[in-house]
Amino acid sequence: MKRFTYCNPTKVFFGENILDRFGPMVAEKARKVLILTGKKSVYQNGLFENVEQILKESDISWIVYDNIQSNPILNDVHNAIQIARTETSMLL
């Protein structure tokens, strides 16, 4: 096996009103994001509207892929990658 180094830093935020920090945090890293979600609960519970408003206030554009299944399959990943590639190529 070839030698390699893999680094995957992750930040996990928990707690009340945590979305208050979401806009500035994302704005530090990106001006456009891909939102991956399922079809129902994120819309029904109002979370999606909250995230949209935060992104608007932070001047961040977004694309939505909302066909993620409850138990995601590899096809979900491939579809999301294709959307990201298409949207990225539109920025060039």
The model's pTM? 0.75
With cut-offs at 50, 70 and 90, classify the pLDDT of residue 90: low
CA 37 to chain CA centroid, Å, is 8
Residue 79 has pLDDT above 60, yes or no: yes
pLDDT of residue 91: 52
Closest CA to 19 of 41, 39, 42: 42
Evaluate whether 60 touches 26 at the Cβ level (below 8 Å).
yes
Average pLDDT over residues 10-23: 85
